[in-house]
């Protein structure tokens, strides 16, 4: 892996080349999808479960020694895991924008500007919200008759013109964001909760979070709204897209009363256990309504675990650093795909993949052709999902010359100089040190196969 700071100009040139590659790939993908779905003419339901700041190492199936995620582990046993799955940015808003647009943050406008990482937390300060020129996944799926709902955190703009119902979602229960960033010291920030277009309360008030004990019932509310939506679509027979985005593992970390104190990992582990229970309930509901064989469920996270949260943060397994860094701990995410009778069970697929691929793959499965005027950065994963294939590819800021290298911009220096260490207890001399000259003069090259923890840069 090569990391080249301050390479935005290089990335822009690469995007021009990459756009042509993706357009050719998509043309082939839509013809392949017809073959992949023969024998089943109905459009599959699509459920994307996006966790918040959950790390690669938080799941038992990915090696967490606590083994406190039995439902997710069973989901993996019945489906397929992707150990080489990446986000598009190690921060909340840019990664979510990339997932829902299928486009790199540098294309859709949600990329970090180094201004106290504000783009990650409060995008309205920089771009206000997701642009009306961006076509989001629910709007594309609507062309194929899908009904779409988001449950949980939106984080692509908090003003009315930027909210989910303005961008293709038919229903929403959740909040525009879950906090106002690390430089906002409000103990009880004004976080609204919406049911559709109607504000129905606020975090800490009508939807309480006890910051001392970590008790909150929000995950159970998010689960019930998702279950109710699935029930209604089962009655109508309408294909649906459910974007389930709970925020319990993002500070302030919380769990409902019956999960508090049940984990070996403190309040964060309690939150993970509750989310695991919710995933199990959602999969069980698909089974009970006989929707399981026509529903693709994909579980992943928006970015790596936030190591700066200390004991209230998650685990990135063997990988270096976490959220807010472009090391593997910030970019590589847990990923599980589940689709009984379609995805072979118990498989590990080492295909290199990214959250942007979920956009393209969903369109392929729905039979929707994206507008030719909009360059996409995700590719179709159905050959990997349905036929366990792998192939060489370039993703995000990957450059393929004699081999594949990742170009990423190391930023957040202002936060470092203000005393925030995004890699606590994981410092690697000449790699994670706070001295800017150690990072910006030369690329840093790692062989991830031999050195997944990025501790030994190749000189």
Q: What is the pLDDT of residue 449?
A: 84
Say if 179 falls within a structural domain.
yes
107-156 confidence digits (pLDDT tens): 888 875 544 444 445 454 556 789 999 999 999 999 999 999 999 999 99
Q: How many CB atoms lie within 10 A of CB 53?
A: 25
322-352 confidence digits (pLDDT tens): 888 888 999 999 999 999 999 999 999 999 9
Say if 445 falls within a structural domain.
no
Q: Is 180 exposed, middle or buried (0-12, 13-18, 19+ CB in 10 A)?
A: middle
Question: Which residues are designated catalytic?
Answer: 92, 155
Say if 421 falls within a structural domain.
no
Reported pTM: 0.85
> Are 389 and 383 contacting, i.e. CB atoms less than 8 angstroms apart?
yes
Say if 432 falls within a structural domain.
no
Q: Is 79 exposed, middle or buried (0-12, 13-18, 19+ CB in 10 A)?
A: buried
Say if 431 falls within a structural domain.
no
Q: Which of 46-50, 88-92, 276-280, 293-297 has the lowest mean pLDDT?
A: 88-92
Burial 102-111 (b: 16+ CB within 10 A, else e): bbbbbbbbbb
Percentage of residues of the chain with pLDDT beyond 70: 76
CATH number at residue 133: 3.40.720.10
444-445 and 332-333 strand pairing: unpaired
Say if 429 falls within a structural domain.
no
Say if 131 falls within a structural domain.
yes
417-440 confidence digits (pLDDT tens): 444 566 766 777 767 765 444 454
Q: Which domain holds residue 201?
A: 41-395
Which of 86, 74, 6, 30 has its CA nearest to residue 442? 6
38-64 confidence digits (pLDDT tens): 334 489 999 999 999 999 999 999 999
Tokens of 258: 């019956």
Domain tally, the chain: 1
Q: What is the pLDDT of residue 73?
A: 98
Q: What are phi and psi of 351, to 5 degrees?
A: -60, 135
237-259 confidence digits (pLDDT tens): 999 999 999 999 998 899 999 99
State the virtual CA torsion across 390, 379, 365, 300 in degrees, nearest 10. Answer: 80
> Are 398 and 21 contacting, i.e. CB atoms less than 8 angstroms apart?
no
Say if 409 falls within a structural domain.
no
Q: What is the pLDDT of residue 311?
A: 76
């Amino acid at each position: 892996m090569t990391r080249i700071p301050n390479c935005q100009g290089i990335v822009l040139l690469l995007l021009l080349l990459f756009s042509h590659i993706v357009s050719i790939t998509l043309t082939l993908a839509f013809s392949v999808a017809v073959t992949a779905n023969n024998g089943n003419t109905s459009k599959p339901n699509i459920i994307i479960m996006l966790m918040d700041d959950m790390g690669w190492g938080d799941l038992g199936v990915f090696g967490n020694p606590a083994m406190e995620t039995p439902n997710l582990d069973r989901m993996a046993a019945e489906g397929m895991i992707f150990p080489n799955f990446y986000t598009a940015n190690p921060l909340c808003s840019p990664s979510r924008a990339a997932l829902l647009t299928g486009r790199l943050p540098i294309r859709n406008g949600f990329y970090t500007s180094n201004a106290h990482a504000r783009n990650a937390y409060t995008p309205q300060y920089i771009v206000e919200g997701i642009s009306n020129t961006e076509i989001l996944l629910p709007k594309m799926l609507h062309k194929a008759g899908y009904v779409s709902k988001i449950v949980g955190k939106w984080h692509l703009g908090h003003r009315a013109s930027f909210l989910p119902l303005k961008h293709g979602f038919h229903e929403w229960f959740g909040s525009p964001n879950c906090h106002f960033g690390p430089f906002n010291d409000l103990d009880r920030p004004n976080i609204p909760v919406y049911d559709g277009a109607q504000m129905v309360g606020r975090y800490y008030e009508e939807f309480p979070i006890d910051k001392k004990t970590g008790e909150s019932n929000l995950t159970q509310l998010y689960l019930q709204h998702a279950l109710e939506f699935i029930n209604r679509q089962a009655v109508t027979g309408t294909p649906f897209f459910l974007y389930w985005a709970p925020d319990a593992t993002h500070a302030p970390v919380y769990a409902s009363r019956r999960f508090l104190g049940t984990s070996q990992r403190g309040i964060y582990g309690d939150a993970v256990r509750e989310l695991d229970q919710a995933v199990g309930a959602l999969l069980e509901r698909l089974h009970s309504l006989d929707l399981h064989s026509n529903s693709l469920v994909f579980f992943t996270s928006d970015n790596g675990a936030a190591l700066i949260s200390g004991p209230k943060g998650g685990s990135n397994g063997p990988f270096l650093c976490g959220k807010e860094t472009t090391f593997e701990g910030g970019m590589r995410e847990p990923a599980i795909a589940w689709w009984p009778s379609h995805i072979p069970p118990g498989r590990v697929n080492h295909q290199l993949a990214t959250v942007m691929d979920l956009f393209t793959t969903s369109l392929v499965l729905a039979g929707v052709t994206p507008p030719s005027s909009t360059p996409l950065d995700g590719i179709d994963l159905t050959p990997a999902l349905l036929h366990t294939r792998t192939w060489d590819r370039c993703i995000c800021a990957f450059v393929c010359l004699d081999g594949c290298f990742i170009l990423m911009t190391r930023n957040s220096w202002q936060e470092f100089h203000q005393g925030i260490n995004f890699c606590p207890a994981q410092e690697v001399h000449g790699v994670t040190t706070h001295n800017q000259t150690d990072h910006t003069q030369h690329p840093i090259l790692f062989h991830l196969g031999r050195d997944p923890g990025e501790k030994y840069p190749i000189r």
